Structure 1
């Protein structure tokens, strides 16, 4: 390694010496005269120091014995403000406009307008020079420059070695990084592998309540993806989650409900599998009997995920007394938010059924079969029978606009079967119309017309009631 470094230094020195020799020779050719202390016949030589074998050479300047050599400098082109032809062999100072005359084929040059730097340039006859800076060097100056360059190279090499060691200390080697990556890669698991492992943990008889709650919490996040929920069901996860609904720990019961709701949401395959279990009965039981409002809300979410876009499940919902369970929410105080959620679900189911009856393609066997299934779900009549027509108007007294909006939408959907019941709410409807008229008048921006929309909803309900009254 040391030998290679020495060779590199020698090569660098030789390159530098050749550059300086060439530079020095060029200076001699363009200088107007030669100072007495400069020998034009001098040569640069590297002399090996026999007493030191470390490879460093001593730089000397030797005389070649030819004496001084007088060399005629090139003629200087004298510029003016006008274009002048540059004769062959003339030296053109820097900073001039230079062009090639296409007609004559000759080079022409002139002074840059407003530039006075060339007034200081003197011709050879006046003892001047083309260069303003010193362009001649003595032997001692050259020797000193070469020694400085040599010492500079050694210092830079030492500094580079020191910096390299510091870099090695700060950063790990490629081999170390590769080993760490292998370790990390070994610990990476797919979501499918994670779900499989979690189902195994839930199935352990000795799992602690803390671990079970942690597993259910992580599953609730993963099962929003359809493929993950299907895998969870195929592994028997539905039965394990339904079993957890009977747990004495309220937190585990609530988390298991959310797991089922996430797995069922917009997932037909899981909905079909869940309908074959006791999931619906468990959800209805929680809605009816659970004392916690939060737990009832989670159970309503899970029930909604099970029966949406699934007419067979909607029929079972009616058969299992689902409307009775939802109506029980209206007989307890402090359940207003849950009541609005229940009304929203029922309104969505009615609109879902009505939309499919209009848009169904009877030439498609599957859609035709699904249409027949919807026709067996007599939801509108069941709502009237279970007293929901009386339960809706009082919710218009709720102070928040969002709840009112949802109730107004439901009243428009149920306007026909519940006409006589809603007609009794004309006073509250007129009161809302006056309130939203004032709020709509205060709206300025065209992009913000929320209260105008609310006003139109109130007017639509009143109009439908008056129209049916006239008929």
Structure 2
């Protein structure tokens, strides 16, 4: 298809069948201050209705039966128990993945226990799972003139590489989107890819990177009858990319090396190569928030996760050129110009991305790349001016800051003899 290679994920055959019940072990380090022993609600003179409402917040009920309810916080014992959908897992537990069902199981960690299913294999004890914020609010921007970060020598590997990481990477490359284990595998990869070593390992596997980009660009998530599970998986895949590339220059170099092949790959079910499909944004069709159940909430999370992935990818000049050529900035503008309160967190992240990468030299931006000369990017002027006027009374709104810095860049272009167009910067 257009010279690109068509990718597909072979369904699990006898190979995976033999892996059924193989344990994906992930030992998290940290103290669990107290073991949850049940759902408790304290009341000091509250009404029965108040108590019932509080209890409702601490339990999850199945969509299939209102009688099937369970605690929101997973209650660990000394035996492996299945982690139900939506349950939160406290830190410090021993977690495993049943490869035949894709279900997570967890129990109280016993550091002296010999795990029968992985006997003879290296068991990782150096991975710390931390709460992962998909936002890039904590990304450290590089000041102007600062030398590029380059670790001395090789990145030091852990004493024993995580078996969970290796198995999750295998799951990623061998299962189709409809196979449940992907959910748990992506969850493990997202948590562990923040580590500079494992982020580099993800980036070094060009097939894994291609699969992740295909997942986050899956065209079905743009359709009317969107599959909620696929939207969630797309967001998780984007989070892995964002985590692996965040503050990890060596990982970016590895992705850039493989980009000439990755960019021309055409994913299964897609008619566009990744050099185009990977930069398509997604806007939820109706107002929502991240706590909204169903596909709308997942779509909003996907927009934010793809922003983090995009921030990491376009640090490469090679990938950035494809991003611009494929209409990536036009896609960002489509998100920014929506006047919806629920989109403001995602819009703020995208505005920061534009300023940090193209307009604010003090934050490490490469000036002169965008806006491009002539009228090609004039829509940004029109739309940003409307937004800045609309939010004039909202102090510190991203639209005002972005509008002003864009006008400053256009004036600098005109002063340098480059056609930067608009000179009237008054709102």
Normalized against structure 1, the TM-score is what?
0.41
Instruction: Specify which structure has the bigger relative contact order, considering alpha-carbon pairs within 8 angstroms and separated by 6 or more residues.
Output: 2
Higher fraction of helix: 1
Q: Which structure's CA Rg is the greater one?
A: 1
